[in-house]
Structure 1
Amino acid sequence: MENQEAGLDVSVEDRLCVVKFNRPRKKNALRVKRQMQTAELRHCSCKGEYRALMAILDRAAENPGVTVVAVTGEGDYFTAGNDFIDSLENTRNDQSSAEGTEVWEKGSSSGINSFRDFITALVNFPKPLVAVLNGPAVGMGVTILPLFDLVYASDKATFHAPFVQLGVVAEGCSSYTFPRLMGMGKAAEVLLFGKKLTAKEASDRGLVTEVLPHASLHQVWPRIREYAKFPLKTLLTVKEMMRANDRETLVKVNIMEMEYLKKAARSEEAFTGIMNMFAKKSKL
């Protein structure tokens, strides 16, 4: 079974559900909503990747024919994280000349709520989650990785979380998971000062399970398909045993981070940071 939802490809075969970020021309950046042009309507606002991902996870959790969910990317990137450029373009399309900041703030708040719900869905997902990083991960693509049970990465993958440079704050429960995985100093390098990690550095810091040569990354899929043949009820039980003690804490951390993110999104630093990024992209 294969289908597409927003910028995603989804397939289920042999008890493995594969979700592929599929916006390679946008480095697989994820949108809160997407604008579609039709003959009848100039713009039609549709759900973006986050809501679509939540729907996919809900279906996979309830489907007895799915044992494992694996997430990967199409093209050169795993994901460039949140599509700030798309958000700004939608803001520019919707605004009158002097309303940019106000519209950006309202749109950001709505988007943050969607992102909060997506992180909650990852935290609560009962079945094994596997990430296969075919290339670089940025922002959200980095911070969600500790919420997966296995993370395999190409040796060409890099890991970059430039939140502070953009005037926003870390999310994806990373303010809790990164210090636990790496220690406070190593986590601060990544979350405070935007240190870009190589795949080996990410593995050494506990963010990646295993690094594979890029040309051999495809060899991990037969292994994952074997995992999908494992007894489902036992997998559910062991994952619950491993994750139960942290789940309540992660949900609280997610809510806290999103409140800080809403405040940051209303700041001049964030608006300026995102606008500067937009200006740089526009010159390319």
Structure 2
Amino acid sequence: MPVSPRANPVGPTGPEDAARPVEPVGPDDSVILHTTDNGVSWITLNRPRTSNALTPDQRERVISRLFEDSADPAVRAVVLTATGRAFCAGADLRVAATRSPGPAAERAAGDVARVIRRGAQRLVSAVLDCEKPVIAAVNGTAAGLGAHLALACDLVLAAEHATFVEVFARRGLVPDGGGAYLLPRLVGPRRAKELMFFGDALTAAEAERLGLVNRVVPEGELSSVAHAWSDRLAAGPTRAFALTKQLVNASLDMDRTAAFAAEAAAQEINMTTEDAREGVASFVERRAPAYRGR
């Protein structure tokens, strides 16, 4: 039974997860919990005994849910979180190994790149392209693709005990899921290389200091703060948020001329919305605005 978002479970992380039995990984609605509360879509990873390592089926469910939330006018904000003692340990390599392109001698050129494009990159793109603000409520370790999933979100809340780990180099791998795109934009290229080369775990406090996390909160307050932030977003001007998100996400890939042109176009589009008219009217009438997300 889906967990109520008003009692969304969060908890610390620890090495004992590795000793727990592996739970089923086949198609199952319970591996992703979902509910909508007060205009907020709560997407909860739910394979706690595997530290919420993502299977391909689970990944596709998250992508599908984000696409639906993006298009649903009743959804005005999204929270991505997890059950148990970790946020997400990355891709489930045990499952991925059974579905990989096979030994190098049997692969066709482009097989690995195709898997990455269709998998990890689609997941991160679904977060970046979602037209609603997405909050990551990081309840424990976010490693590899799990870290990139959190960092792709618009706002990141982290419990005090949460950690962020770039594990790829430890396994002899190149970062995927947009890590080499996201990290330099958040912390600069030199710090990004340090994190990716060494793979040292960042505490939540260190992640906040570097700008990877918006707010670190005590474990018992993560859910309540996520509710407070998402409720504020859900009551705001949804289309203005979507356009602002697009501008900010594209800003580092544009020169000034292109950025200013995009800003002017976004303003033109936004001024056709009901919420823009309501915002101006409420200012003139000296009252609180009542945004409808339209």
TM-score strictly above 0.5: yes
Q: Distance in 2 between matches of 1:247 and 1:58?
A: 24
The equivalent position to 1:72 in structure 2, one of 57, 81, 98, is 81
What residue is the counterpart of 2:192 in the other structure?
187
Greater Cα radius of gyration, structure 1 or 2: 2
What residue is the counterpart of 1:153 in the other structure?
158
Matched, 1:171 2:176: yes
Q: Distance in 2 between matches of 1:53 and 1:101?
A: 30
What residue is the counterpart of 2:93 in the other structure?
84
Instruction: List aligned pairs for 1:1-284, cutoff 5 A.
Output: 5=29, 7-32=31-56, 48-88=57-97, 111-112=115-116, 113-223=118-228, 224-246=230-252
Q: Distance in 2 between matches of 1:13 and 1:197?
A: 32
For these two proteins, the number of residue pairs brought into alignment is: 228
For residue 70 of structure 1, what is the amino acid of its counterpart? V
1:172 is paired with a residue of what secondary structure? Answer: coil
Q: Distance in 1 between matches of 2:202 and 2:175?
A: 16
Are the structure 2 counterparts of residues 83 and 111 from structure 1 closer, same or farther at C-alpha, using a change threshold of 3 Å? farther
Q: Is 1:18–1:69's contact at 8 Å kept on the other side of the alignment?
A: yes
Q: Is 1:134–1:214's contact at 8 Å kept on the other side of the alignment?
A: yes
2:81 is paired with a residue of what secondary structure? Answer: strand
Are the structure 2 counterparts of residues 70 and 237 from structure 1 closer, same or farther at C-alpha, using a change threshold of 3 Å? same
Are the structure 2 counterparts of residues 109 and 184 from structure 1 closer, same or farther at C-alpha, using a change threshold of 3 Å? closer
Are the structure 2 counterparts of residues 184 and 233 from structure 1 closer, same or farther at C-alpha, using a change threshold of 3 Å? closer
Q: Distance in 2 between matches of 1:110 and 1:171?
A: 12
Q: Distance in 1 between matches of 2:99 and 2:62?
A: 21
Q: Distance in 1 between matches of 2:106 and 2:136?
A: 34
Q: How well do the aligned residues superpose, as a CA RMSD in angstroms?
A: 2.8
Q: Could you tell me how far 1:231 is from its partner in structure 2?
A: 2.4
Structure 2 stretches lacking a partner, 5+ long = 4-27, 256-294
Q: Distance in 1 between matches of 2:235 and 2:139?
A: 24
Are the structure 2 counterparts of residues 30 and 233 from structure 1 closer, same or farther at C-alpha, using a change threshold of 3 Å? same
Q: Distance in 2 between matches of 1:216 and 1:188?
A: 33
Are the structure 2 counterparts of residues 5 and 110 from structure 1 closer, same or farther at C-alpha, using a change threshold of 3 Å? farther
Q: Is 2:135–2:226's contact at 8 Å kept on the other side of the alignment?
A: no
Structure 1 stretches lacking a partner, 5+ long = 33-47, 250-284
Q: Could you tell me how far 1:172 is from its partner in structure 2?
A: 2.6
TM-score by length of 1: 0.71
Q: Could you tell me how far 1:138 is from its partner in structure 2?
A: 0.7
Q: Distance in 1 between matches of 2:143 and 2:107?
A: 22
- 1:214-263 CA-partner distances (Å, limit 9, x unpaired): 122222133122321212222223223322435799xxxxxxxxxxxxxx
Q: Is 1:144–1:173's contact at 8 Å kept on the other side of the alignment?
A: no
What residue is the counterpart of 1:39 in the other structure?
none
Q: Could you tell me how far 1:163 is from its partner in structure 2?
A: 0.6
Q: Could you tell me how far 1:66 is from its partner in structure 2?
A: 0.2
- 1:118-159 CA-partner distances (Å, limit 9, x unpaired): 222222222101000011111011123332110000011011
For residue 174 of structure 1, what is the amino acid of its counterpart? G
1:204 is paired with a residue of what secondary structure? Answer: helix
Are the structure 2 counterparts of residues 27 and 247 from structure 1 closer, same or farther at C-alpha, using a change threshold of 3 Å? farther
Q: Distance in 2 between matches of 1:177 and 1:109?
A: 19
